[in-house]
Structure 1
Amino acid sequence: MKRTAIILGSLLLVTPVLAQSVGEKTGVNSTLGIAPTTADFVKEAAISDMFEIESSKLAQDKGSASEQPFAAMMVTDHTRTSTELKGLVSSGKVKAEIPTSLDSAHQSKLDRLKGATGKGFSSDFNDYQISAHKDAVNLFERYAKSGDNADLKNWASKTLPALRHHLEMAQNLRKSFL
């Protein structure tokens, strides 16, 4: 027990040094409903947008007739939110760095989609869309409620309805696939 406390204490001390907090990285913050730090929120939101845009571009080419309009909407909407987030950071209202590439987990999913075709592609794409939008809704809800940057909290609140709608659409798309 004492050893666990020492390890956890040590992790908390080095957390500011890490690119992403341990709580956000391990999902502890999400489970406990704790708001991410501004840096974590920006990183996660930016990676989510990048993944949505790239995976949906693939779906525009490889997806079924019912997936293609959804994918086009994802490219448009997530390009807009990505631009808005970059604007908040570049204006100086938000002090954080925007990643320029996907993390390994999202890159692996994108690589899998690149190699998939037909029903395999559709199944993976639909699963990824539902999962990504559940994660995004959770992330944005937590930051909108308790984030530490007023401008970013406001943006997260304004963006939430669209993300909830995307999740609903992804779930309905999945139902039509089954």
Structure 2
Amino acid sequence: MRSIPFASSDLMTRHRTRRLLGAGALFIAGATLALSASADSVTSKDKSFMTKAAEAGNAEIAASKVALEKSSNPAVKDFAQKMIDQHGTVGDELKQLASSKDVTLPTEPSMAQRAKIAILEKLSGNTFDKRYASMIGVSAHEDAVKLFQKSSTSADDPDVKNFAAKTLPGLKEHLKMGRDLKSKVDAAKK
């Protein structure tokens, strides 16, 4: 008979332990869900847009810094400085947006963009000006306009969509400026 009181006491301890373990498991599961929900607050499509936008801005700034050093053409230097200033401002806005969405952005151009900048670094004179106007003034801005146009209509996150839509007119203006610059440097004597 003595074993019964001990058995019921042991049984009660096991039930309490199970309840505590169950509550602990629920707490951990809830905390894990909360963390993954905040980390997944932006879709992979929107993360990809932010990454590509950051790389594009980084590339335009890096190439434009090269243009300030290499070009003697005032129109090229003026365009390059505007790209550095304006893409720097947009880049800062993108960093704030990405930070609010727990997205880490690249701090450099993509590998392909770095290769194009390396080509620019080897050029000089009017050849440099023409290639910079073509690659950065026109081609890079055409790509950026397409990227931002798509996200301005199809981004899942409303903040990402608004950022793309707000930035798009400026990029279209840069493309127009780039085309004008290309016309000027293409017409220049060698």
TM-score after normalising by structure 2: 0.71
Looking at structure 1, the residues matched to 172 and 108 of structure 2 have their Cα atoms a distance apart, in angstroms, of: 25
CA contact (8 A) 2:58 2:109 kept: yes
| Cross-structure match for 2:126 | 119
The equivalent position to 2:78 in structure 1, one of 69, 83, 86, is 69
Partner of 2:17: none
Is 1:38–1:96's contact at 8 Å kept on the other side of the alignment?
Answer: no
Q: Which amino acid aligns with 2:93?
A: E
Structure 1: how far apart are the matches of 2:77 and 2:107? 26
**Bigger shift: 109-118 or 158-167?**
109-118
Task: Kindly report which structure 2 residues correspond to 1:23-42, keeping only aligned pairs within 5 A, or say none.
Answer: 37-42=45-50
Shift of 1:95: 4.1
| Contact 1:39 1:95 (C-alpha < 8 Å) held by counterparts | no
Q: Which letter does structure 1 place at the counterpart of 2:183? A: K
Contact map agreement 1:126 1:170 (CA 8 A) in 2: yes
Tell me the TM-score normalised to structure 1 length.
0.76
Find the counterpart in structure 1 of residue 55 from structure 2. Answer: 47
Describe the superposition over 1:151-171 as per-residue Cα deviations: whole angstroms up to 9, x where unpaired: 011011110110000000000
- Larger fraction in helix: 2
Question: Once the 2 structures are TM-superposed, how far is the Cα of residue 99 of structure 1 from its aligned partner?
Answer: 1.0
Work out which of the two has the higher radius of gyration on C-alpha atoms and give 1 or 2.
2
| Deviation string, structure 1 residues 111-168 (Cα, Å, up to 9, x no partner) | 1111111122112101112110000000001000111110011011110110000000
Note the C-alpha offset of 1:65: 1.5
In the alignment, is the contact (CA less than 8 A) between 1:37 and 1:147 conserved in 2? yes
In structure 2, the gaps of 5 or more residues are 1-43
Output aligned runs, 1:1-178, within 5 Å: 37-63=45-71, 64-90=73-99, 92=100, 94-129=101-136, 130-178=138-186
Paired positions, count:
141
AA of the residue aligned to 2:128: F
Counterpart CA distance in 1 for 2:154 and 2:108 is 27
Contact 1:42–1:97 (CA<8 Å) still a contact in 2? no
Show CA shifts across 1:16-47 (max 9, x none): xxxxxxxxxxxxxxxxxxxx811110111000
Identity %: 34
Gaps of 5+ in 1: 1-35
Q: Which amino acid aligns with 1:53?
A: I
